[in-house]
Chains A and B, each alone.
Chain A
Amino acid sequence: MGKVIDRNIDIGPFVPAPDDDMLICRCEEVTKGEIRKAVHDGMWTMTEIRRYLRSGMGLCQGQTCSRLVKGIVARELGVSPADLEPATARSPMRPIEMKIFGCEEVDA
């Protein structure tokens, strides 16, 4: 946090890899190649990747794939995964039906 990042630093071209078709985010069916391409499109934070591709936005909310996504993004940027802030975890922690979520005791 608080670090100035110049988004125009050259990270080199996108080079296709044999495992680019591998599914990383199972909920939203996002592949490794799509994540790597997104980094070359300028999406350099976990939050931007998530907003751009929907990875980690599905039923499990990234609880399965976020570590994998972080590793892929870090490698593409040439930084340590520890340098990348995780995307914000958001309630509810498990999917919950509207009729249950909305069921509070409310005075008439």
Chain B
Amino acid sequence: MAIAEPLAGNAAAAWLASDSPTRPESYMQAARRRFMHSRVGLVALAVLLLLVVVSVAAPLLTPYDPSIGQPAARLRPIGSPGHIFGTDEQGRDMLTRILYGGRMSLIAGLAPVLVATVIGTILGSLSGFVGKWVAMLIMRTMDMFYAFPAVLLAIAISASLGPGLINQIIALSIIYIAPIARVAEAATRRIVVAEFIEAAKLTGAPTWKILFTQVLANIFSPIFVYSSGLVGLAIVTAASLSFLGLGVRPPTPEWGFMLNALRGTIYVNPWVAALPGFFIFATSISFNMLADSIRDSLDVKE
């Protein structure tokens, strides 16, 4: 098919010459097409969607109550009749607790990262774009948060706010703002030297307009990839807070707390004890892989 090339050229020319309203593939269309071709991304998306659906639909899927156990049926192994995933140290059905726990864990993992991403992106991009004393003020403040180990800081904030899911989310949001702001700042500083930013400044557009129309779309993908990696971490940190009595309180199921509570039974019933950990792992890795393939599909290759 030696003539394939010129034909394509002529077709393009013919299209341009006509006033046909056909458009070439838009940026988002191209990204969607590339994403639809990435197997890993689709699998990760399917896993996450499945987790969300079964968590939300938990009451329809299991007959048990997640917080009431049968003392007679404690520590049943995986595959026991009536308890596919076995039971925990109080005789509660593990499948039920995993499903209900997914609600809390997904909220505790997603909400803080979402909040921190919004705030961190605003702070970081502003600091990277304006520079000078604004950057000094913002980034040095962020550095102060780095001075504390993240978990300790979260514990301190949670403790001062009091226990509860909302306070836990606030505490986790605060500790993730600083790293996200750093990523956003670095990405912004890379982009502000581009000539299209100078062109935008030349139009006399106000800073916020340039930030929103020119900068944000260009720093989205590094921030997105970084933030989605934090989701898994946030689930685990949320679990630590719960363990200390600063997050979701027992007997409300939550993966991280379940993992801690089952620690003692690891020699008795290792597979059941590892189950919450497996779900944390699956969620976390799905988020990472989804983020990677979305990044790849958003990437405009020259």
Q: Are A and B co-members of a single complex?
A: no
Residues of A within 8 A of B (CB): none
B positions within 8 Å CB-CB of A: none
